[in-house]
Amino acid sequence: MRHILRQRELIADQWRYLGEQLAPGEAVVVPFAELARERERWWAWDGRLGVRLAPVDRVEDLAEELPRLDLVAVEFPSPGEGRGYSQGRLLRERYGFRGELRAVGAGVRQDLVFLLARCGFDAMELAGGEDAQAARRALTRYPVAYQPGAAQVALRRQRFHAP
Amino acid sequence: MLHSLITPERGAPNHTVFSAREGAAYSPGMYRYDELDQAFVDARVAEFRDQTRRHLAGELSEEEFRPLRLRNGLYIQRHAPMLRIAIPYGLLAARQLRKLADITRRYDKGYGHFTTRQNLQLNWPKLEDVPQILAELATVQMHSIQTSGNCVRNVTADHMAGIAPDEIEDPRPYCELIRQWATLHPEFTYLPRKFKIAVTGAATDRAASEVHDIGLHLVRDARGELGFRVLVGGGLGRAPMIGQVVREFLPRAELFAYLEAILRIYNRQGRRDNIHKARIKVLVKALGIERFREQVEAEWQAGRGAAAQLPAAELERVRAFFRPQPYEIRADQDITAGASPRFKAWYRYNTRAHRVSGYRAVFVSLKAHDAAPGDMSAAQMEAVAALAERFSFGLLRVTHTQNLVLADVPQQHLHELWQELEALKLATPNIGTLTDMIACPGLDFCSLANAGTLDVARQIQQRFDDLDYLYDIGEIELKMSGCMNACGHHHVGHIGVLGVDKHGEEWYQITLGGSASGFTALGEVIGPSVPKHEVAATLERILEVYRAQRLEEERFIETVRRVGLKPFKEQAYAPHPAAA
């Protein structure tokens, strides 16, 4: 059973990834390329639908699918891969995506969850071996921030704000 | 003009504020942390302490620890870890320099190395001590955050900021604001590659801003409004490039929104498949400046509703920290009359004009002829901290040429200050001359280096030890790097020296005609590289060509531009045609 750190709670994942055992009506996450290829099929899926974005995928190309989506999973294949932070902010701020924004991949480490949360990620599938409790604590590592960001972490003070 | 300097219209911080942490007096003239800033660096120290503990306990592999330690300025080098401490835009209070001295004594070998990015490097700290070093730094409002790694690095500025006669606006408040905006930026802490920003507010570019990823020039538009000319895509290292103007005028309030647009374009499109093609300069070149500009402008317009704002009140809050010092205006005087030739030489080469009459800016030369360029001992640091308090409002600046500056010295104290600096071996009257060379630490310390720089520096210092000869050669910039990464800025040296590895031997490639001040240009290679023992002799032959070819009053770089490289190429190698 996969666990997800979601809004500071560790919960059992209710989503299936394409390729995993999937019952009709179950919530499923499909790769963006798959959604683009089989658009009609997935729009007609009898259940909640999510999509998985690779670092090279453009958020702009996903815009038309967003009304159908309850989850967007963004890949962080390594700790140094930073494109997902931009994808996350764009989804939240520019495209107004309100569903679950989930960081996935080997790069999702306790040392990065604060950044992820500030970019709008409300769910993290921690990389194998990561200490979930330590990751939960790391969400509140910083009591202050300079930049505007999503309110996933409780801050005492923030210096700069968005309009 | 002068009156507005002496009677600041803006509100200013209280002059006798004490920091809560150690009761040390805060130095007016620099930014002072508030509760947010202090809470942030304290949290950062705690985080790195935990990360280091996990690494030493085997919970974090070296590969996993690496990006985390790099973002705290910690490299693992040839002999030991190297810790790069941030000196934001080069500004340092006496009490901070004292703390640095204390740290080098307790945790290192009693000296530090000032870098071309206005930082201080410690070459011998123990990994397990680094969290404690960072905690010590935090007690004097310092840190090592983002001094390495693929993120926005320490923001650099003109070392004459606030005192230069040719200044339009002091760049330091903007540097401080950018420092804060960039610190642990949630979107831009894992960029494709490092990202360097320099800000200048003067007519003369003393910050090498055109060879930075972003260069910001404070300018006034036709209505007299302050804003920025924004350059992008400059950089040294492999494939050096000069920055191009992406926007002629950016209103100050849009600073963060525009930086975010540039960084977002870069973060999304910059290459991550090849470390040598990952800098923003490669993206700008691939797209062309026109297309790059179109994308940035579109991103700016689309993103400004969610980007960090820079409200006027916040700008004024930060500007107030950098208000002019309470100067006592006196008539400029000729204090060299009747003085010793050595003092006269020091005055001429190691001091600079100040915008307030009666004051001079003084270079503390870290280029003594028997020392590694940029190195300073703990004893020297402590002594200079005391001199800063006696003579220059308790503040210092680090220059990108690896010297220190006491910016506000009353002219009547210059002779006394000179005597003190002489006793400390910090008054070598060579600023702006050949031996005021820039050099990275090279093969002796750096694990990236291909060749030594410090022993070559020594060779050059020994060969050109005669000050009269140096003065005859006049103003010249010699810059030396131990590898392609160009930490020593060799591309923009009037003479550049680049160490290369040839079958396990150290050789040196020489370039001429580079410049990063005023008219930015990249030097050109004049011929095959030379073996180590030949570097100084080759330089001497090059200088002889200059002496033979120069017109009256013509500086070296001007002669090179006028006559071209040909005579230099012909002469530099003449006695050694066999040089490979």
User: CA–CA separation, B3 vs B6, rounded Å?
Assistant: 5
CB contact under 8 Å between B309 and A160, yes or no, is: yes
Please report residues of A whose CB lies closer than 8 A to that of B303. 93-94
Angle at B301 between CA B249 and CA A159, to 5 degrees: 85
Q: What is the pLDDT of residue B446?
A: 86
How many angstroms separate the CA atoms of A80 and A64, rounded? 29
Question: Do the Cβ atoms of A149 and B186 come within 8 Å?
Answer: yes
Is A141 close to B184, i.e. CB distance below 8 A? no
SS3 at position A2: coil
Given a contact cutoff of 8 angstroms between Cβ atoms, the answer to whether B77 and B445 are in contact is yes
On whether any CB of chain A is under 8 Å from the CB of B303, the answer is yes
Q: Is the CB of residue A81 less than 8 Å away from at least one CB of chain B?
A: yes
What ranges make up the beta strands (E) of B101-225?
A: 111-114, 120-122, 156-157, 197-200, 214-220
What is the arrangement of strands in the sheet containing A69-75, beginning at the earlier edge strand?
A: A9-12, A3-6, A123-124, A100-104, A69-75, A49-53, A28-31, A16-17
pLDDT at B423: 98
Task: List CB contacts of B205: < 8 A, sequence separation 6 or more.
Answer: B158, B217, B516, B517, B518, B520
Q: Which domains does chain B have, with CATH numbers?
A: 17-147+324-430 (3.90.480.20), 163-321 (3.30.413.10), 438-572 (3.30.413.10)
For residue B395, give how far its alpha carbon lies from the nearest alpha carbon of chain A (Å).
26
| Among B459, B117, B138, B149, residue whose Cα is nearest residue B278 | B149
Q: Does B264 touch chain A (CB under 8 A)?
A: yes
What's the pLDDT score for residue B23? 41
Cβ of residue B20 closer than 8 Å to a chain A Cβ? no
Q: Note the pLDDT tens digit of each residue in B33-47.
A: 999 999 999 999 999
Interface residue A89 vs chain B (CB under 8 A)? yes
Q: Which residue from B466, B340, B475, B325 is spatially nearest to B414, judged by alpha carbons?
A: B340
| CB within 8 Å: B267 and A86 | yes
Q: CB distance from A154 to chain B under 8 Å?
A: no
Q: Is A121 on the interface with B (CB under 8 A)?
A: no
Give the burial class of B307: count Cβ atoms within 10 A of its Cβ; 0-12 exposed, 13-18 middle, 19 or more buried. buried
CA distance B371 to B297: 48
Of B232, B226, B217, residue with least CA distance to B251: B226
Cross-chain CB nearest to A79 (options B67, B184, B186) = B67
Smallest Cα–Cα separation from B71: which of B94, B47, B88? B47
The whole-number pLDDT of residue B517 equals 79
Q: Render pLDDT for B440-479 as a digit per residue (tens, 0 to 9).
A: 989 888 888 999 999 999 999 999 999 999 999 999 999 9
* Any A CB within 8 A of B38 CB: no
Could you say which residues of chain B have pLDDT below 50? 1-24, 577-580
A105 interface with B at CB cutoff 8 Å = no
d(CA A6, CA B276): 38
Rounded to an integer, what distance in angstroms lies between the CA atom of residue B123 and that of residue B113? 8
What is the spatial distance between Cα A72 and Cα A88, in angstroms, rounded to a whole number? 9
Encoding tokens for residue B487? Answer: 């930490």
Give the minimum alpha-carbon distance from A14 to chain B in angstroms, rounded to a whole number.
Answer: 28
B302 vs A94: CB contact, 8 Å cut-off? yes
- The answer to whether the CB of B244 falls within 8 A of the CB of A53 is no
On whether any CB of chain B is under 8 Å from the CB of A145, the answer is yes
Cα B356 versus chain centre, distance: 24
- Among B34, B72, B190, pick the best mutation site for testing chain A contact (most A Cβ within 10 A): B190
For chain A, domains (ranges, CATH) are 3-158 (3.20.20)
Contact between residue A151 and residue A131 where contact means Cβ atoms under 8 Å apart: no
Nearest-CA residue of chain B relative to A107?
A: B64
Indicate yes or no: CB of A157 within 8 angstroms of CB of B39: yes
Predicted local distance difference test score (pLDDT) of residue B575:
61
Using the CB atoms, write b or e for B285-306: b if 16+ within 10 Å: bebeeeebbebbeebbeebbeb
Integer Cα distance of A157 and A85 in angstroms? 22
Number of Cβ atoms within 10 Å of the Cβ of A66:
16
Q: What is the pTM of this model?
A: 0.94
- Chain B's closest residue to A113, CA to CA, is B186
Q: Strand pairing of B478-481 and B156-157?
A: unpaired
Local confidence pLDDT in tens for the 163 residues of chain A: 799 999 889 999 999 999 999 999 999 999 999 999 999 999 999 999 999 999 999 999 999 999 999 999 999 999 899 999 999 999 999 999 999 999 999 999 999 999 999 999 999 999 999 999 999 999 999 999 999 998 767 789 999 999 9
| Whether the Cβ atoms of residue B123 and residue B82 lie closer than 8 Å to each other | yes
Residues from chain B that touch A55, judged by Cβ atoms under 8 A, are 272
Residue A142: its chain B contacts at CB < 8 A? Answer: 40, 43-44, 47, 184
- Return the pLDDT at B574: 67
Q: Is the ipTM of this complex over 0.90?
A: yes
What residues contact residue B29 under an 8 Å CB cut-off, 6+ apart? Answer: B321, B322, B323, B325, B393, B394, B395
pLDDT at residue B448, rounded to an integer:
87
User: How many beta-carbon pairs below 8 A join chains A and B?
Assistant: 112
The pLDDT of residue B11 is 36
B305 to chain A, any CB pair closer than 8 A? The answer is yes
Count of C-beta atoms within a 10 Å radius of residue A60: 10
Beta-carbon separation of A160 and B189 below 8 A: no
pLDDT at B21: 43
Q: For residues B335 and B338, what is the distance between their CA atoms, to the nearest angstrom?
A: 8
pLDDT of residue A135: 96
Give the gap in angstroms from C-alpha A70 to the nearest C-alpha of chain B: 23
**Chain A residue whose CA is closest to B67:** A80
Task: Burial-class residue B552 by CB neighbours within 10 Å (0-12, 13-18, 19+).
Answer: exposed
Task: Determine the residue of chain A that is closest to B261 in CA distance.
Answer: A86
Coil vs helix vs strand at B195: strand
What's the sign of the alpha-carbon dihedral A118, A122, A127, A128?
positive
Distance of alpha carbon B376 from its chain centroid, rounded?
16
